[in-house]
Structure 1
């Protein structure tokens, strides 16, 4: 989310894009780069297998996770990493057999499913199990084993059966967890919430350097290795950074307690990149190699299904999940396919460059997929987890205010097409979930923000950050300006935390949960504000 200013002109960026489309990656990068992302796959580079009994140190240092629940299945994840802060994670370049179990109870006396899977060195010994044949809308417990080592136990839940009538669904939305900005205290509290699923809206990690003291964590009892004190660029850099983040006990607790549905924003790769255009003026093929590294490490370290496995610098992350008749989730990717930010990515008044109707936030294919999905939807709530501010957000009180070129305000034609599609599909209860901005907002979505009393067409809930921005404040310096300039903004708070959302047949409720500090550990959590919106009658009311 950090403001970025492009260091090369729009003309140079356009020329670079013409020289290299995203799909031209393999034709212009070096042979070594091509080998790294095509040949170096399981079954081609390493034939050796090591017995798990020969692993002499705890391999499950990064915990366990589950995700993308379906009525009959869920993804289970872990990664073997005896030494997560070291290149190679302390394992040889060999395959390791891992057993897994899913049970009805935490004591594993009633086993539902079990099996074995190979942890490949080519995928950094990550494990992705699609546990199928499970019952719908059921809590399960799971664990992994290799040799004599047994992982922590995770708890997960399958989605309800198609067409199931639900009284309610409770979810949480989280985003933006800069390790160097503080402790993941909010995750400790999130682990204790009664939830069906957690939606992560991006910036799971940050590419920026982390010093030996852990930044704002200011460790006095340990020293982080020097290789963290540089920006992530290579595959090894990104893998090590996930090792750092996922070693955090509070993040591990949240993953072990709830299934996650994840999408990325920019920092998992590089701040404010747009499709094949980097923040800074590196050659396009160099950036796409970096993107391929970032995407591969992302998949390796998250509970994602096989269709999300990347191919070079491409990875289809947008996807759809259903929770009975109550909710449809259309998870978007607003980074990989977007047009480059207008006006050099600086806050700017709307103008011909940003209002060009050909500009897109989602790409044409994802846009069609979203609208077609709405046309087929029978859900009470159509929820869109995505990355950047969707509603209009004026940044000053001038008659013509500046807006962010990185958010949907910088892509108004794309936003109009999305809202036109929602209207034509007859979407009654549109709810957009957003991250990115390190504060909490609650918006009434409108087509016309200039006319008082204009029709409300949906709700946007913006989750604050887990840590990014450090401790924050209840009323940031921009609070008065933003709330005056944007009367459809019903709430603005700058503390860290998350938001829980309870979807019911008659209404939805959002509870903004915040902690007072993240630069010191152990802060309690409290509910800062709560809002409801009625089904069939969009508009937020504070309760």
Structure 2
């Protein structure tokens, strides 16, 4: 993928930029700017969900992002938005273009499926509305089915609590020029504001209404480091719990603050799903539908990799024994499922299709067994041990070549071998898990690399308590993973360093340190 330039990140991004900033060849459907209309692209742009011939382009018009009504300073009228795709950032020749309506009902968000593109190709895109040009983004299509295409640089992360620090991690991810970014949950946090933090939320109450969630996304997406990461590559996203409420399970609340009736909780979940769709570069197939949103899905990167993206919140059984860390026999019940029975079957069916060299499961919570003196986390797969066993045995029975699980949630970096039998440490290694640290959640951290409780969990191969991300290079012969970390998020601009690297070799389960 060609390096992204400063021009790419800022072209059209100044609030004073009007249609005159467009190259002459691209000045079509010109909208006349007026001084009374402020710059609407304060939330940046994004792309996502690539396939071999198309990609989703996203923006949301919001000249005043933090307005309490959640509409970002937009009037109640709908607005036409032009979009353009080109092979160059000068847009001298367009390969796709059109006009779409940004509606008040959808918080003036835009989801364009830009089609007719070539496989395994780089593109630039931008929007124009109300006389202004958006920043320019770079995106990429996947290789055609049956081909591996170029090696894939894919980075992933999770857990971006706005108040707990600066989004330097996103900036460092962007600087790597990845071909793909995965976000595996907690893109926002629903909590109310807390004083004394490096940054403060607009408003002090916990998100409950649609306006609350829209405003929260707007504050996150106003951040220039997050905007840079969205502008550099297409994203694939799945939520965890904080996009709705901490540790919720299906329709069961885990948090009594604020106090809500059943009807109010249902309305809150509906609002959260709507706001998630409005603010993510998702395809129409993922449109929210009342109190649900269809988010588990498969994305194929040619014959190199298939990404099985799971939703581990919406369909799960309630956490066993009241949640928390504990010893709990109910966690072994065969009737309990973390992704839900339907999603389990869907995942196993996907394994059986043998679509690519690498079967990558993008999901949220710790997958390998991790016990300590107080037991195990009932919110993780340790609270749903029969469900985990069915999935692991499922990929063994189906002869999955290279199963790799990607995880977030725990605000620390971990790497693990996955075992056929966790009661027998010498049992076969049948897969690998890479756990990204957080963008900011947990604060600076202490930099420790001493693996907790490794004596009782010898399959745990790495731990680090800094904020960061995992950078992977995926080829037909190996997956190389670099655990990247920054020393501080309480201050802006820290450098990123590689703390540890591993290789997973094709056909050889388990992590090899490099």
TM-score, structure 2 normalization: 0.91
Report the CA distance shift for 1:345/1:119 in structure 2 as closer, same or farther (over 3 A).
same
- Residue from 484, 494, 502 that aligns with 2:465: 494
Q: Is the 8 A contact 2:393 2:420 kept in 1?
A: no
Report the CA distance shift for 1:310/1:218 in structure 2 as closer, same or farther (over 3 A).
closer
- Residue from 310, 333, 352 that aligns with 1:356: 333
Give the aligned partner of residue 367 of structure 2.
390
Give the aligned partner of residue 506 of structure 1.
477
Give the aligned partner of residue 15 of structure 2.
none
How far, CA to CA, are the matches of 2:219 and 2:255 in structure 1?
Answer: 26
SS at match of 2:498: strand
How far, CA to CA, are the matches of 2:451 and 2:231 in structure 1?
Answer: 40
Give the aligned partner of residue 427 of structure 2.
454
Give the aligned partner of residue 331 of structure 1.
309
How far, CA to CA, are the matches of 1:345 and 1:378 in structure 2?
Answer: 36
How far, CA to CA, are the matches of 1:466 and 1:52 in structure 2?
Answer: 40
How far, CA to CA, are the matches of 1:340 and 1:329 in structure 2?
Answer: 26
Asked if 1:75 is matched to 2:53, the reply is: no
SS at match of 1:141: strand
1:374-431: CA deviations, max 9, x gaps? 11123110000000000001123xxxx6000000000001111111221222102000
What's the offset of the Cα at 1:486?
A: 1.4
Give the aligned partner of residue 512 of structure 2.
541
RMSD: 1.5
Report the CA distance shift for 1:106/1:167 in structure 2 as closer, same or farther (over 3 A).
closer
Asked if 1:431 is matched to 2:404, the reply is: yes
Asked if 1:443 is matched to 2:416, the reply is: yes
The runs of 4+ residues in structure 1 deviating greater than 6 Å are: none
- Residue from 376, 379, 382 that aligns with 1:409: 382
Matches within 5 A, 1:100-139: 100-139=83-122
Q: Is the 8 A contact 1:175 1:464 kept in 2?
A: yes
Q: Is the 8 A contact 1:483 1:492 kept in 2?
A: no
1:346-399: CA deviations, max 9, x gaps? 211141x21111101111111111111111123110000000000001123xxx
Asked if 1:238 is matched to 2:219, the reply is: no
Q: Is the 8 A contact 1:84 1:90 kept in 2?
A: yes
Report the CA distance shift for 1:343/1:363 in structure 2 as closer, same or farther (over 3 A).
same
Give the aligned partner of residue 140 of structure 1.
123
What's the offset of the Cα at 1:115?
A: 0.1
Report the CA distance shift for 1:481/1:441 in structure 2 as closer, same or farther (over 3 A).
closer
Give the aligned partner of residue 3 of structure 2.
none
Matches within 5 A, 1:260-409: 260-281=235-256, 282-351=260-329, 353-396=330-373, 402-409=375-382
How far, CA to CA, are the matches of 1:218 and 1:508 in structure 2?
Answer: 36
SS at match of 1:159: coil
What's the offset of the Cα at 1:167?
A: 5.4
Q: Is the 8 A contact 2:120 2:150 kept in 1?
A: no
How far, CA to CA, are the matches of 2:263 and 2:397 in structure 1?
Answer: 40
Deviates more, 1:64-73 or 1:52-61: 52-61
How far, CA to CA, are the matches of 1:166 and 1:127 in structure 2?
Answer: 30
Q: Is the 8 A contact 1:516 1:523 kept in 2?
A: yes
How far, CA to CA, are the matches of 1:165 and 1:299 in structure 2?
Answer: 30
Q: Is the 8 A contact 2:162 2:199 kept in 1?
A: no
Matches within 5 A, 1:512-527: 512-527=483-498
- Residue from 183, 186, 206 that aligns with 1:200: 183
1:244-291: CA deviations, max 9, x gaps? 000000000000011100000000000000000011354332211100
What's the offset of the Cα at 1:481?
A: 3.6
Q: Is the 8 A contact 1:177 1:204 kept in 2?
A: yes
What's the offset of the Cα at 1:52?
A: 7.4
How far, CA to CA, are the matches of 2:63 and 2:470 in structure 1?
Answer: 34
Give the aligned partner of residue 465 of structure 1.
438
Deviates more, 1:188-197 or 1:314-323: 188-197
How far, CA to CA, are the matches of 1:158 and 1:167 in structure 2?
Answer: 11
Structure 2 residues not aligned, in runs of 5+: 1-30
What's the offset of the Cα at 1:168?
A: 2.2
SS at match of 1:72: coil
SS at match of 2:392: helix
SS at match of 2:494: coil
1:303-353: CA deviations, max 9, x gaps? 0000111011100000101111110110000000000001110211141x2
Asked if 1:183 is matched to 2:166, the reply is: yes
What's the offset of the Cα at 1:435?
A: 0.2
1:114-135: CA deviations, max 9, x gaps? 0000000000000000001111
How far, CA to CA, are the matches of 1:145 and 1:332 in structure 2?
Answer: 34
- Residue from 61, 65, 77 that aligns with 2:42: 61
Q: Is the 8 A contact 1:167 1:505 kept in 2?
A: no
SS at match of 2:243: coil
How far, CA to CA, are the matches of 1:159 and 1:167 in structure 2?
Answer: 9
Asked if 1:170 is matched to 2:153, the reply is: yes
What's the offset of the Cα at 1:447?
A: 1.9
How far, CA to CA, are the matches of 2:407 and 2:414 in structure 1?
Answer: 9
**If each structure's helix is expressed as a fraction of its own residues, which one has the higher value?**
1
Structure 1 residues not aligned, in runs of 5+: 1-50
Give the aligned partner of residue 485 of structure 1.
456
Name the count of aligned residue pairs: 478
Deviates more, 1:375-384 or 1:436-445: 375-384
What's the offset of the Cα at 1:147?
A: 2.8
